[in-house]
Amino acid sequence: MTLILITGISALNMSIFLPSLAAMTAYFDTEYAVMQVSLSGYLAATAVLQIFVGPLSDRFGRRPIVIGSLLIFVIATLGALFSTTVEAFLFFRILQAAVATCMVLGRAIVRDIVPDAQAASMIGYVTMGMALVPMVGPMIGGALEQAFDWHATFVFLVLAGIGTLALVYYDLGETLAKGGMGFRAQVRSYPELFRSPRFWGYVMCAAFASGAFFALLGGASFVGTTIFGLSPVWNGIALGAPAVGYAMGNFLSGRFSVRLGINKMALIGTGITIAGLGTSVLLTLAGLIHPLVFFGFCSFLGLGNGLILPNVMAGSISVRPHLAGTASGLGGAIMIGGGAALSQVAGSILTVESGTLPLQLIMLGTSMMAFLSVVFVVWREKQTA
């Protein structure tokens, strides 16, 4: 339960404030594209952390890194809560990314404390808890904003951070028994990974697939609030639709990946995503512009990603099994870094006049690139067979 909560608070912090993004833009008297940095900057900081957290925890231990990151998160959240300028808010918001450390180390702690046979099962439970949080996070944020204002969301995060910090302090002991690969050793192993076409195929598929989802996160608040005029509560519910699909996709991956293989599962996932988003684009072009058309078909994006991401991430770390840790950190950084760029682009190009179509086309285009990346991996495997 402790591991589920420390990984869950990281996922919660990413999405809970999204229904309030338009209101926060008005509060700080700025533009939506500037406020959008609160998501894209957060994701960029998370991407950088992905590279350093593993080696740091190998050297100093899991417990002090987790406690330190939660302490920084609570202080940064208080700073964001009391910010009076958009510059101060964005500084503290990006500093909140320290809590992403918990998401990375949650999996490492599982590997520390249980044998390999049990690790997959326990990581599954931790990941399932992480998948559930994005469903309820925006709903909580939307309800708090409608009942009070956006400040209430950050009060909630402060209380959640303090509670999680107390739980970790009393419940989580040090789990590191021996040191792993240090940062210098990881960097020295990068060329071997960079020379692997299949590694790039898997990683780029993950980057494009998750990039479509992060683009949605970047633009969905503007679409829901400004274009469709949804209340914060309904905007939060709409933002939870892809997470429902993602949880279902994760379940199907668990059931069928061994039987069908990771490449076939990724191809099915990209096909589902393209079909759903393509239908959404066609309906919009036909003049059927409605929240159900936009957000309803985004559930196919979640379902597809639930099939794609577990399989291509498993593929990326299996290309060079002796470099699994390095591949995981590097692949995660590329995936989230790409998502940060796409979320900023999505938030920058949307206007009331443009409607939802630019965002739909970005999501469809990146999903097609994810499909081509998997096709490249399949072709490469046939060439080397």
pLDDT digits (tens, 9 = 90+) for 151-182: 999 999 999 999 999 998 998 877 766 655 56
Which of the residue ranges 54-68, 252-266, 281-295 has the most confident prediction, judged by mean pLDDT?
281-295
* Whole-number pLDDT of residue 323: 65
For residues 149 and 84, give the distance between their C-alpha atoms in angstroms, rounded to a whole number. 15
Q: What is the pLDDT of residue 279?
A: 94
pLDDT confidence tier of residue 149, bands split at 50, 70 and 90: confident
State pLDDT tens for residues 198-207.
Answer: 889 988 998 8
* 378 pLDDT more than 80: yes
Instruction: State the average pLDDT over residues 111-122.
Output: 58
Q: Assign domain 182-385 to its CATH superfamily.
A: MFS general substrate transporter like domains (1.20.1250.20)
What is the model's pLDDT at position 63? 86
- Would the pLDDT of 128 be above 80? no
Query: What is the mean predicted confidence (pLDDT) over 53-81?
Result: 87
- In the chain, CATH 1.20.1250.20 covers 1-172, 182-385
pLDDT at 274 over 70: yes
How remote is the C-alpha of 316 from its chain's centroid?
A: 17
> Which whole number is the average pLDDT over 318-323?
69
Check residues 313 and 186 and name the one with the higher pLDDT: 313
Percent with pLDDT over 90 in the chain: 23
For the cut 90, the answer to whether the pLDDT of residue 282 exceeds it is yes
Query: What is the pLDDT at residue 10?
Result: 83
* Residue 113: Cβ-neighbour burial (10 angstroms; 0-12, 13-18, 19+): middle
Report the SS3 class of residue 67: helix
Cα 94 to Cα 86: distance, rounded to the nearest angstrom: 12
Distance in angstroms (rounded) separating the CA atoms of residues 285 and 201: 32
- Determine the pLDDT at residue 256: 82
Q: Nearest CA to 359 among 209, 210, 223? A: 223
Instruction: Quote the mean pLDDT of the chain.
Output: 82
Per CATH, which fold does 1-172 belong to?
A: Growth Hormone; Chain: A; (1.20.1250)
Q: Which helix (H) or strand (E) holds 319?
A: none
Whole-model pTM: value is 0.76
The pLDDT of residue 26 is above 80 = yes
